[in-house]
Structure 1
């Protein structure tokens, strides 16, 4: 993968993060979902995965990052 392809992939992943975060925020603010419970579930899923290969380790880090971002965004909205 060259730098251009990597940058394209990174940009797409970031857009998915942003779209997912916006969706969760809307659903949480409308009291459709329990945001803290969702974050807890993501963290639990990450903790249950084995990090014995690079792909799985990246998945665990990504789940943890998503949970962190959702929690940070909630804290910012409720200030």
Structure 2
């Protein structure tokens, strides 16, 4: 399962970037226009979520397909059937 590895790498990367920005004296903390970085912040998490979701969906549909089950149970239910 690569999900935990991906999440750990993202957490380490974000922590490193935050510590670098906070300790760097040369960065402009009051930058008003950052459309490029906002675009990157939007696209990268979306791509990451797609890479996490695709294997999960594939496994979900593979687990759902059962060709010949060993046991079949038929049940009948009645709503508001007390008598």
- Same-fold call, TM cutoff 0.5: no
TM-score by length of 2: 0.33
Highest Rg: 1 or 2? Answer: 2
**Higher helix fraction (1 or 2):** 1
TM-score (norm 1): 0.35
